[in-house]
Chains A and B, each alone.
Chain A
Amino acid sequence: MSEEPEQTRTIAVDMVARVEGEGALRVTVKDGTVQNVELKIFEPPRFFEAFLKGRHYEEVPDIVARICGICPIAYQMSAVHALEQIFGLRVEGALHDLRRLIYCGEWIESHALHVYLLQAPDFLGYDSAVAMAKDHATIVTRGLRLKKAGNAIMTLLGGRSVHPVSVKVGGFSRVPLRRELEDLKDELLWARDAAVETVRWVTDFDYPDFETDYNYVALRHPDEYPFNEGQIAATSGLQISAHEFEQHFTEHQVAYSNALHCTLQGSPYMVGPLARLNWNQEHLTPLAKQALADNNIALPLRNPFYGIIARSIEILYALEESLGLIERYEAPPLAAAPITVRAGIGMACTEAPRGMLYHRYEVDGDGVIRDAKIVPPTSQNQSRIEQDLRLFMPRLLRLPDKEAALACERVIRCYDPCISCATHFLNLEIRRESSA
């Protein structure tokens, strides 16, 4: 690379590692100025929407669980809530709690993976989790044990941790005995202490000085840190129900990508742990609030790199919430509420580990899916990632190509993009051009 601005420069990196799934990024720099940032997607993302058409509603939870190996519960939860809305059903009591509990399991599992294995190497100066594990085996072991605590919840409630099978419209195919949940407690208590340590550990990392104004979008509920319910709230002032999602959030096809980019009233926005935490601080559990105070974490957080802090706080929250839900659990008389099938259209948003996940279904009088729409969090964050890269790139222009590319990867990884929900391989290319 040259530092002469008039010289054409192209930097290409074949793959962004430690990103869930695969995709590609091209950054064009001309005369020392960032011209263009394009996040490209290769995999036709809409296969599942087409695949769902003509299927019976009872098949939906099993099908959507296969969209993503990391967040199957999120897909199941958005699906069952949208379908239950069509059938005029509201799941309450112990079944409502079990749905929160299984979602806690997924957040713990997904966040622990990202914090310990995917993003921590960026802050500790390693190019991979393997390299980090050679020097920090104890820390990596702690992260994997934390992840396993989340897996254990998902396996008990979901039947298995990957592609869980017990979630259904109306509830579950089987609910656990109180004794079975209590068996999880010792490990969850260990994990809760490990989560307190995790917050302390990540808060001590050195963070790039990069703050900007975000339009944070997350669910907000009067009583709960949001999983399955709540209004959609945006920093820009929007407060709507999931019914109104498509009136305000628009998906665009961009020329360079198969995936649709979603904007809110034409502008990029951010979903995910940072947005959730900034919006829902008052609903955190006591130790999670204490961890914010003890580590001098002042909200709102406005630096995307602090996503790892938000995830760590949410791991702690999810563990405390799990223990509370287990404590008050009494097995419900029915594993699932009875369903009365009727035709209609239903929409729901739930909070996937990576952010808000929107589903809409149209069902006919026989319970057959006539139309389906799925807007995953990664599609929603894509425009925002591009925007962050536009803002971040100027400070990278004097770096050697390889370092600049790695720095871009670190920005992308802040969003924990689960591109397997929406894409294929991620290649990174920085093209430097000149008008001379």
Chain B
Amino acid sequence: MKHDGSRSSIRIIGLGNELRGDDAVGLLAARRLRQAVGNRAEVIEAEMAGVDLIELMKGARVVILIDAAGSAQTPGIIHRFDASDSPIGVRVFPHSSHAIGISDALELARAMGVLPARVIVYGIEAGNMETGQALSSSMAKALDEVVGRVIRECEVCHA
């Protein structure tokens, strides 16, 4: 996991697997956002974070998570959830290649009283998650959009 930036109270965490097609989208978004947000937010790329997500969120006031979603909707569709006060459910992130997926990790953090005050989750519907594939074109377009939305999200949170 790559941490950088000062310990800002806004933390952007991009999740995914670089070698699994559209599953890389969270990592790629984090890489682009690192350039874009400067010192307004801390940016972390987390491959297969699972339950370690709890640790990665620790100490932040605002966390913005970005991951590929798999609810069998049109690839490239962007979902936005506010997990601050209630579970995001498992509908959009039903299949995790980790034992503990995003929704479980957030609920564990909530159950233990360590969930940051504000947690926003961006889920981007993945098309192809086959090992060894490149990012699909619909995912590449969604990546541009989600980066823009997260930048605006940071501006609002920072204000």
Contact = CB atoms under 8 A, between A and B. Distances in A.
A69 interface: yes
Contacts of B98: 20, 69-70, 420
A117 B132 contact: no
Contact of A420 (B47, B94, B97): B97
Contacts, number: 82
A323 interface: no
Contacts of A48: 131
Interface in A255-291: none
Contact of B112 (A70, A141, A424): A141
B19 A20 contact: no
A22 B95 contact: yes
Interface string B127-159: 000011000000000000000000000000000
Contacts of A151: 52, 55
Interface string A101-137: 0000000000001000110000000001110011001
Interface residues of B, number: 28
Contact of B51 (A21, A117, A128, A420): A117
Interface in B23-61: 46-52, 54-55
Interface stretch (A159-167, A196-204, A208-216, A304-312): A159-167
A251 interface: no
Contact of B108 (A51, A133, A161, A162): A133
Given A20-B98, A69-B98, A141-B112, A160 B2 contact: yes
Contact of B100 (A44, A117, A425): A117
A135 B84 CA distance: 21
A19 interface: yes
Interface string B113-126: 10000000000000
Contacts of A44: 131
A410 interface: no
B104 A130 contact: yes
B1 interface: yes
A148 interface: yes
Interface of B: 1-2, 17-19, 46-52, 54-55, 94-95, 97-100, 104, 107-108, 111-113, 131-132
Interface of A: 15, 18-22, 43-44, 47-48, 51, 66, 69-70, 113, 117-118, 128-130, 133-134, 137, 140-141, 144, 147-148, 151, 160-163, 420, 424-425
21 contacts: A19-B99, A22-B95, A66-B18, A69-B48, A69-B50, A70-B50, A70-B99, A113-B50, A113-B51, A113-B100, A117-B100, A129-B100, A141-B112, A144-B51, A144-B54, A144-B112, A148-B55, A160-B2, A161-B1, A162-B48, A424-B97
Given A43-B131, A160-B2, 17 more contacts: A15-B95, A20-B98, A69-B50, A70-B48, A113-B99, A117-B99, A129-B108, A130-B108, A130-B111, A137-B113, A140-B108, A140-B112, A141-B112, A144-B54, A144-B112, A148-B55, A162-B46
Which are the 10 A-B pairs with shortest beta-carbon distances? A69-B48, A133-B111, A130-B107, A47-B131, A134-B111, A420-B97, A137-B112, A20-B99, A162-B47, A133-B108
